Amino acid sequence: MTEIDAEALDRQFDIKTTLLFGLVVGGTILVVPTFAYFFGYSWFDWTMFFLLYIVSGLGITVGYHRLMAHRSFKCPNWVKGGLLIAGGMALQNSALKWAADHVRHHARCDKEEDPYNAMLGFWYSHCGWLFWRDPYRSEKYATRLKQDPLVMWQHRHYYAIVIGGLALPLVLGFLYDGWLGGLSCFLLAGLGRTFFVLNSTFFINSICHLWGSQPHGTSDSSRDSWVVSVLTFGEGYHNYHHMYQSDYRNGPKWYNFDPSKWLIWSLSKLGLAYDLRRQSTDQSSNPQNSANQLILPS
């Protein structure tokens, strides 16, 4: 057993997170298809599923990731607040904790302190890291984030946002088709949608550090996967992102499937986003130099 394996096994088991994750997984695998067999899901349920998948998914990719963790662009507070609420509906923790962990992931990628270290294998980097309390969590990675009043507001009201995100399809389904409609919409667009958004994000931590191409640099295990990009609104161009972390684009080419960059660009054209950061030509010719430009707490 290696030293890093022993360290991972010494971590304290996180019962609360494990139970919550188990409920989401168990409910999606067992209850959602069982309900489909006996009752089926309506077009309204599927519409809400895809709509909330897009909203909460973009809340993570645009709000939590590119805005809060990497400061790839700036926007008015009401836009930031909307993105933080959307991201909170994905059940991936508050933006404060999510972004702090992600900054540390870039700073200590593939090392012991990496919260979702792919060197420990697929399952650990995909979801296994959730089940153990993190001994390397440090306040220094959250210093900048704690200076943002909206981030702290979202952190304080995170559970209310999560509950609201799950209650929304229940209420809308009830208004559409009574209690049975409320239950079906909750199961598909609430529980099932949360499961799929969680796992699509986890694919970035696992698949995009184990399989794929490395056209932009090999200083860490990050890899590009266009398949993951389809599921995660452009986040699958992960090797480019690790080499050029502050770029608001993960897919830099016009033909790269990156709806997150299209949304940020569209917001900028409407005056709702500004100071969009792009990789400069001279830096892009030397990926190793750019890889050292970490977005660390100020």
Mean pLDDT to the nearest integer, 202-208: 96
Closest CA to 95 of 139, 158, 14: 158
Instruction: Determine the Cα–Cα distance for residues 157 and 178; give it in Å rounded to an integer.
Output: 29
Check pLDDT > 50 for residue 245. Answer: yes
* Residue with the two structure tokens 């969590």: 137
pLDDT of 120-129, one tens digit each?
999 999 999 9
Task: Please list the residues that pair with 274 across neighbouring strands.
Answer: 74
The residues, any chain, with a CB within 8 Å of residue 229's CB and separated by 6 or more, are 235, 236, 237, 250, 251, 256, 257, 258
pLDDT of 7-52, one tens digit each?
444 568 889 889 999 999 999 999 999 999 999 999 999 999 999 9
Contact 125, 209 (CB under 8 A): yes
What are all long-range contacts of 222-227, with beta carbons under 8 Å and residues at least 24 apart? 222/109, 226/256, 226/257
Mean pLDDT to the nearest integer, 212-223: 94
Mean pLDDT to the nearest integer, 262-273: 97
Q: Give pTM, 2 decimals.
A: 0.89
Residue 280's pLDDT band (cuts 50, 70, 90): low
